[in-house]
Amino acid sequence: MVDSKLLQRNSSMELLRIVSMLFIMGLHFLMVFDFPRYEDSIKAPLNTFVYFLLESLTIIAVNVFVMLSGWFGIKPKKKSFCSLCFEVAFYGIMLFIIEAFLHNGQNITIKGMKHLLLGGPDDFWFVKAYILLYCLTPV
């Protein structure tokens, strides 16, 4: 029997998710601007300070959103895990086909295909973090 308190919505957590979504949009908005260089900090120190302040305040939003979504939204099932893996593989293959088409099949190697499908250490970070969260959810 499932405790009814577990199924109730926690409005403060929902508000935190909404705020983190807004912060994520703000973080993506900051990406429109060039990252300040040393010369920019000399010419316009206030602008550089504001940029880094906003980035510092919003960078945590992705982690907060993923943790809250995982805590309240992930129901570990074999079918949904397989579905996630299929989607990642499908889009990886589609990206590989687009990459091959754009470069007319030149410089397409097995190593490049592995890198595109499996990703390097910095690629697919969100999927890797989500799978880790998915595995830790039952704990």
Residue 15 shares a structural domain with residue 68: yes
Residues 23, 59 within the same domain: yes
Tens of pLDDT, residues 73-128: 677 778 878 888 888 888 878 877 787 777 776 666 666 666 655 666 666 677 77
Distance CA 83, CA 91 (A): 12
The pTM of the full predicted model, rounded to 2 decimals, is: 0.54
Q: Is 41 a residue whose pLDDT tops 70? A: yes
Domain range enclosing 135: 75-139
Per-residue pLDDT band for 33 (boundaries 50, 70, 90) equals confident
What mean pLDDT is predicted for residues 34-49? 86
| Same-domain pairing of 120 and 95 | yes
Average pLDDT of the chain, as a whole number: 77
Based on the fold, state whether residues 93 and 115 are members of the same structural domain: yes
Domain shared by 57 and 92, yes or no: no
Tell me the C-alpha to C-alpha distance, in Å, between residue 138 and each of 34, 65, 75, 89, 134.
41, 19, 9, 25, 8
Domain match, 65 and 83 both = no
- pLDDT score of 22: 92
